[in-house]
Structure 1
Amino acid sequence: MPRKTDNTWTSDALQRGDIAAIQQRVLDDSNYIRERDYVGDTPLLSAIAFDNLELVRFLLKHGADPNVRVNDGYTCLLTASESDTEDSITIVAELIQAGANIHTTGINGFTPLHMAAARGHVEKARLLIDAGAGVNRRKDIDASETPLMEAAFTGQPSTVHLLLANGADPSMRDTVNNRTPLEIAQDAAKGPDPDVVNYLKKENIEIDVDELFSDMDLPSDQLEMMKQSIKNVDMTQTYIDNSNELVKTGNHAEVIHILTKHCE
């Protein structure tokens, strides 16, 4: 169903914690479960975004489609795989059981397993692998990274262990820099690459925001706000900040140790 730019009913009810109202509307209106709100979310997508396990279960029981997408390509399973909440693990399991496609990618090229691996969500990664997710599946954009490469990049020992134990190939290389997962982890541990910083400063890269958002059917005010936020981004500083954050939050030393021993 098409997006309704003035429809905030579901998100408003979730913010109030009025789950009963949403459940009653599902029972009263057979079309509601497929309706799109102001950002293109169905009630199920909204429930997952709010990490509301009770409502997710109810909606799936009453026929909600676990494979609906929003305009950026995100699916229910990608959203749940990204979440850091405890309930989101069970939500991933419920979605898989309901028939969610474990292979579908979002605009960033991530499968749900790429997402879980990169964020260190080992229980979700295990659920996805058990359901048949490909441990050596490459992204179809960027440097065609595998889940193991993403876990190595962000410094996630738990998902690195799990992927290797389930057949992930540590000898595969990305298609841009020709690096193995071990080399990716070693580079990430160093922080910002001076060559990249110099390149970004020299090129003064600007993003074509009109092209970037050309296929997104979003409310005009929201679209303009997103465009302005992108226009104001300092690419060089963003790269430096993100690289430093990776060093701070990731355990690259342990990842390097695991991959080195595995490759001996």
Structure 2
Amino acid sequence: MNRRRRKKLSARLVAAALLGESARVRALLRAGAPAGSANADGTTPLYQAAVRGDAEIVRILLEAGAPPDAESGTGSEGLPLCGAACWGYTETVRALLDHGADPHLREDHGTGLTALAWAEKGPHPETAALLRAAPRASRSAG
């Protein structure tokens, strides 16, 4: 796939995730949109779905290969798990954890808050309890 087509598909995938269009997300993935891609601003579709609390789209993207711990964008964006925890989206947090998201990672390349800190700040006690109970993700360095 050429670079221009990839950029277009990535931008469309981020927009579909933002709008909660699960059928469109599936269609774009079938058309070759990379699940872990980002738009021109560095925003990932997984972050957009997570911060909206859309567990269905989060699962679709993760099953298609989106990395659960990839930071999104710059500034106010960050880790998908932190975005979901910040708003108390427990089902979305669970989906991310089930697909290997590390609950102990800090946003902003290690200088920011963890998902648990965001959930406690909410306050979102159910989400915080889920994060407290989660083991550290065990992935090999790659």
Aligned partner of 1:68 in structure 2 is 8
Superposed displacement of residue 184, structure 1: 1.4
User: Corresponding residue for 2:133?
Assistant: 261
1:187 aligns with 2:121: yes
Alignment partner, residue 13 of structure 2: 77
Q: Which amino acid aligns with 1:165?
A: D
TM-score, structure 2 as length reference: 0.79
Match of 1:94 in 2: 27
Tell whether the 8 Å contact from 1:66 to 1:95 is kept in structure 2 after alignment: no
Aligned length: 131
Query: Separation in 1 of the partners of 2:79 and 2:129?
Result: 19
Q: Write the distance in 1 (CA, Å) between the matches of 2:6 and 2:41.
A: 20
Q: Give how far 1:261 is off.
A: 2.0
Tell me how far 1:142 sits from its aligned partner. Answer: 2.3
Which residue number corresponds to residue 192 of structure 1? none
CA RMSD in angstroms comes to 2.5
Structure 1 CA distance for aligned equivalents of residues 31 and 6 of structure 2: 7
Q: Residues 1-264 of structure 1 correspond to what in structure 2 (within 5 A)?
A: 67-68=7-8, 75-84=11-20, 88-106=21-39, 109-142=42-75, 145-175=78-108, 178-189=112-123, 252-263=124-135
| Larger RCO (CA under 8 A, 6+ residues apart) | 2
Aligned residue in 2 for 1:50:
none
What letter corresponds to residue 118 of structure 1 in structure 2? V
Deviations 1:137-185 (A, max 9, x none): 1235227721111111122111100111111001101238532110111
2:140 counterpart residue number: none
Letter in 1 for 2:33: A
User: Counterpart of 1:34?
Assistant: none
TM-score, reference length from structure 1: 0.45
Q: Identity of paired residues, percent?
A: 31
In the alignment, the residues of structure 2 paired with residue 110 and residue 188 of structure 1 have an alpha-carbon distance, to the nearest angstrom, of: 23
Aligned mates of 2:119, 2:40 — CA distance in 1: 24
Q: Give deviations 1:12-49, integer Å, cap 9, x for gaps.
A: xxxxxxxxxxxxxxxxxxxxxxxxxxxxxxxxxxxxxx
Unaligned segments of structure 1, at least 5 residues:
1-64, 190-251
Counterparts in 2 of 1:114 and 1:134: CA distance versus 1, 3 Å: same
- Structure 1 residue 66: deviation in Å? 7.2
Q: What letter is aligned with 2:84?
A: A
Task: Look up the equivalent residue of 1:100 and give its one-letter code.
Answer: A
Q: Secondary structure at the match of 2:126?
A: helix
Alpha carbons of structure 1 residues 106 and 67: separation in structure 2 relative to 1, 3 Å: closer
Cα distance change, pair 139–66 in 1 and its aligned pair in 2 (3 A): closer
Larger radius of gyration: 1
CA distance in structure 2 between the aligned counterparts of 1:110 and 1:67, rounded to whole angstroms: 12
Determine if contact 1:66/1:98 at 8 Å carries over to the other structure. no
Q: Distance in 2 between matches of 1:153 and 1:110?
A: 17
* Distance in 2 separating the partners of 1:260 and 1:125: 21
